[in-house]
């Protein structure tokens, strides 16, 4: 296990790298929050278009409040392991403190957020696959999710944030992803969580990240996040700041070419990846070299993995330049580079139309499809378990997940998103000794968000 000094050195090295990319001149603001307030982190935006001002009683003192609720229901109407329904929800309470107004510290903001998550996962109780159909599920307790300081430097050309947070609210996400309810795409493409220690909301750990604008359209983004198995325990509430059991850090990075929202057809094209220097369990072998799922022994422990991805977002139509109405497409391609991993590659493609019927400019409709390809190690494990249960070892290498979703804005505060999800070849993670393939699953779902500070407006 790395020493405490080596962990601190790794974090400091990542910070130095982030600072070094601020050398070139820039002419526009580094958009550190372009990805930080989406997905299963901060509450989902109430609508794609500009929204009414919320109730902010402390705004004159430099304090901006957030209070919201997200709920996700899902029912398995056919296939999977059994017919069942489940509900998961999240209360999100946060505050941003403008430290320029409060204490005269220009460009500084203190972020604080607490969540309460509750409910059950339909995938865990009725489908048995490794990817939830309710993205809000996970870390089911009251949790100090965010406690960070964000600092803008060099006329906003460099933005640094440090404290307690998660990699997935800063990297590898998009507002388009959470048009959908399933965890295959929202809040992040699921592949990264299967193949690395990429930290996820709201399980907070020590971190630092920085985004710099190199030219008008080119941005560089890098971070370092503590990898600590304690942060994934049900008993952890985000208030234990110790690093005694940390096993390393994960370093995500991105280089992006972005048009900005003022472009006629906005776009973002991003090359990224991660270097994971934390410990992880072998997906197949136990500590004696046998097959862990059969022996029941602890898995072998390794250190060090890496991966690479390319992703893009492109608006295809925009009838009115002053509106966000129009059709957008996004895509993600991910692969493993090193380490013994669960999946070998991942593809995700989605279409989102903002502005649907006359008078419904804030509504949106979307369709997405993803393909997870399991590694040879995962296939060997699943086949071994199937044979042990008397099966034929007929296990699919691909899990394909699809979703059709409509999001309706109901007043300024409520957004309702009914959806239909379909899983082709659900994997055997939740029921490895089933002895027969899990049938394709059809799920009916509904997601809603309530911005409590806009109620009554």
What pLDDT does residue 142 have? 96
Give residue 204's pLDDT band: very low, low, confident or very high (50, 70, 90).
very high
> Is residue 391 pLDDT above 60, yes or no?
yes
What pLDDT does residue 168 have? 96
- Domains and their CATH numbers in the chain: 59-454 (2.40.160.180)
Cβ-based neighbours of 12, under 8 Å, separated by 6 or more: none
As given in the structure block, the two tokens for residue 451 are: 């911005």
Give residue 52's pLDDT band: very low, low, confident or very high (50, 70, 90).
low
Q: pLDDT tens digits for 64-82?
A: 999 999 999 999 999 999 9
Higher per-residue pLDDT: 199 or 10: 199
> Is residue 39 pLDDT above 60, yes or no?
no
What pLDDT does residue 40 have? 52
Mean pLDDT in residue range 401-430: 96
Q: Which residues pair with 251 in a beta bridge?
A: 275
Tokens 């234990």 belong to residue: 240
> Is residue 290 pLDDT above 60, yes or no?
yes
Share of the chain above pLDDT 90, in %: 82
What pLDDT does residue 53 have? 80
> Is residue 312 pLDDT above 80, yes or no?
yes
What pLDDT does residue 32 have? 32
Q: Is the peptide bond before 202 cis (omega within 30 degrees of 0)?
A: yes
Contact 231, 167 (CB under 8 A): no
Question: What is the total residue count of the chain?
Answer: 457
- Rounded to two decimals, what is the model's pTM? 0.88
Q: pLDDT tens digits for 342-351?
A: 999 999 999 9
Mean pLDDT of the chain: 89
What pLDDT does residue 457 have? 61
What pLDDT does residue 456 have? 75
What pLDDT does residue 5 have? 40
**How many angstroms separate the CA atoms of 90 and 40, rounded?**
9
Mean pLDDT in residue range 353-360: 93
Among the ranges given (50-64, 233-247, 256-270), the one the predictor scored with the smallest mean pLDDT: 50-64
Give residue 411's pLDDT band: very low, low, confident or very high (50, 70, 90).
very high
Share of the chain above pLDDT 70, in %: 88
C-alpha radius of gyration, the chain, whole number: 22
Among the ranges given (148-152, 231-235, 312-316, 423-427), the one the predictor scored with the smallest mean pLDDT: 231-235
Q: pLDDT tens digits for 86-127?
A: 999 999 999 999 999 999 999 999 999 999 999 999 999 999
Give residue 428's pLDDT band: very low, low, confident or very high (50, 70, 90).
confident
Among the ranges given (1-10, 214-223, 271-280), the one the predictor scored with the smallest mean pLDDT: 1-10
Q: pLDDT tens digits for 228-240?
A: 999 989 899 999 9
């Amino acid at each position: 296990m790395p020493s405490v000094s080596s962990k601190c050195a790794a974090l400091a090295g990542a910070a130095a790298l982030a600072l070094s990319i601020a050398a070139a001149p820039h002419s526009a603001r580094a958009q550190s929050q372009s990805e930080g307030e989406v997905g299963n982190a901060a509450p989902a935006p109430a609508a794609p278009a500009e929204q009414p001002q919320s109730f902010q009683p402390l705004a004159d003192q430099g304090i901006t409040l957030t209070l919201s609720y997200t709920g996700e229901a899902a029912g398995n109407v056919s296939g999977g392991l059994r017919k069942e329904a489940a509900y998961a929800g999240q209360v999100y309470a946060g505050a941003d403190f403008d430290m320029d107004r409060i204490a005269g510290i220009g460009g500084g903001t203190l972020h604080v957020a607490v969540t309460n998550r509750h409910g059950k996962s339909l995938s865990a109780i009725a489908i048995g696959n490794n990817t939830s159909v309710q993205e809000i599920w996970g870390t089911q307790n009251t949790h100090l999710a965010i406690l960070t300081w964000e600092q803008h430097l060099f006329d906003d050309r460099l933005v640094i944030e440090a404290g307690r947070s998660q990699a997935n609210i800063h990297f590898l996400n998009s507002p388009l992803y959470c048009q959908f309810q399933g965890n295959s795409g929202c809040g992040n493409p699921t592949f990264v969580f299967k193949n690395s220690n990429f930290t996820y909301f709201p399980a907070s750990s020590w971190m630092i990240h920085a985004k710099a604008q190199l030219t008008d359209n080119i941005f560089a983004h890098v971070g370092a996040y503590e990898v600590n198995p304690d942060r994934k325990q049900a008993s952890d509430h985000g208030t234990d700041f110790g690093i005694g059991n940390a096993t390393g850090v994960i370093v995500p990075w991105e280089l992006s070419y972005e048009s900005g929202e003022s472009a006629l057809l906005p776009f973002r094209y991003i090359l990224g990846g991660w270097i994971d220097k934390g410990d992880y369990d072998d997906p197949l072998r136990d500590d004696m070299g046998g097959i862990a799922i059969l022996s029941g022994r602890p898995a072998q422990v390794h250190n060090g993995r890496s991966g690479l991805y390319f992703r893009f977002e492109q608006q295809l139509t925009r009838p009115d330049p002053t509106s966000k109405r129009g059709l957008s497409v996004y895509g993600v391609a991910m692969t493993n580079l090193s380490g013994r991993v669960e999946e070998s590659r991942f593809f995700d493609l989605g279409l989102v139309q903002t502005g649907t019927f006359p008078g419904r400019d804030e509504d949106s409709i979307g369709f997405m499809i993803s393909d997870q390809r399991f590694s040879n190690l995962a296939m060997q494990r699943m086949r071994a378990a199937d044979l042990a249960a008397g099966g034929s070892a007929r296990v699919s290498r691909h899990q394909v997940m699809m979703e059709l979703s409509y999001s309706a804005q109901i007043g300024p505060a409520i957004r309702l998103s009914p959806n239909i999800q379909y899983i082709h070849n659900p994997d055997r993670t939740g029921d490895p000794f089933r002895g027969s393939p899990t049938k394709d699953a059809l799920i009916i779902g509904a997601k809603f968000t309530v911005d409590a500070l806009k109620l009554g407006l």
